[in-house]
């Protein structure tokens, strides 16, 4: 019985190490802030922090803007290229640029909302 319990605990620990919890990455946030809120000039953006893209108690929950950004930026793709800093930065900035062109439920492009200083996810 002891062996079964020890094996079960080891399996749970091994699974826990391999589970990827969130898709948001510090480099995504860093590039977003550098592009849209350099010097923390927009208090709305500074206060919202992660809630620019996320909502709710879990970081897996994304607002409408976060879902659009998620179409163009993935943790898996980033992990493939992260060793090449310039390629990783280019990947992130291109993804953000593509998300700007998309429209929210009200029909306004996210880029227009961002240029107006508004939170793109409606938070």
- pLDDT digit string, tens, across residues 40-74: 899 999 999 889 999 988 888 999 999 999 999 99
Note whether residue 9 is domain-resident: no
- Domain span holding position 30: 23-115
Note whether residue 68 is domain-resident: yes
Q: pLDDT digit string (tens) for 66-106?
A: 999 999 999 999 999 999 999 999 999 999 999 999 999 99
What CA–CA distance (Å, rounded) separates 49 from 51?
5
The Cβ-side half-sphere exposure at 101, using a 13 Å CA radius, reads 7
| CA 110 from centroid of its chain's CA atoms | 15
The model's pTM is 0.75
Note whether residue 4 is domain-resident: no
What SS3 state is found at 14? helix
Number of domains in the chain: 1
Note whether residue 121 is domain-resident: no
| Number of CB atoms found within 10 A of residue 76's CB | 8
Note whether residue 1 is domain-resident: no
């Amino acid at each position: 019985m002891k062996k079964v319990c020890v094996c079960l605990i080891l399996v749970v620990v091994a699974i826990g190490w391999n589970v990827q919890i969130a898709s948001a990455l510090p480099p995504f946030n860093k590039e977003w802030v550098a592009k849209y809120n350099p010097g923390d000039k927009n208090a709305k953006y500074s206060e919202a922090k992660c809630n620019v893209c996320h909502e709710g108690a879990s970081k897996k929950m994304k607002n409408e803007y976060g879902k659009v950004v998620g179409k163009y930026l993935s943790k898996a793709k980033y992990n493939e290229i992260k060793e090449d800093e310039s390629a990783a930065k280019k990947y992130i900035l291109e993804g953000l640029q593509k998300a700007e062109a998309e429209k929210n439920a009200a029909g306004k492009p996210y880029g227009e909302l961002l240029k107006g200083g508004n939170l793109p996810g409606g938070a």
